[in-house]
Structure 1
């Protein structure tokens, strides 16, 4: 399995069960993919999204 973390995206390549397993692992540490990307690139994550009515 390969994981490519770019500046604004993540690409997972491999077998479907490997990808599902990795996403479940990351779900325990991060709420959003942006948090994961920011942690890898040592950036401050953007402000949380707000709902607009």
Structure 2
């Protein structure tokens, strides 16, 4: 399984069950993909957005 975090997105390469497992793992840490990208790039100082249901 390989995960590439780019400037404007995330690319997951692997078997289907591996990708689903990784996405479930990361959904507990990050609400948005943008949060994930900023954390990896070290720009986590922006205020977190909140999901409105």
Give yes or no for TM over 0.5: yes
Q: List gaps (5 residues or longer) in structure 1.
A: none
Structure-2 separation of matches of 1:29 and 1:37: 12
1:1-53, Cα deviation, whole Å (9 max, x unpaired): 0001111110000000000000000000000010000000011447748xxxx
- In structure 2, the partner of 1:32 is 32
Structure-1 separation of matches of 2:32 and 2:19: 16
- RMSD over aligned Cα, in angstroms? 1.8
Q: List gaps (5 residues or longer) in structure 2.
A: none
Contact persistence 1:35–1:45 (CA under 8 A): no
TM-score (norm 1): 0.80
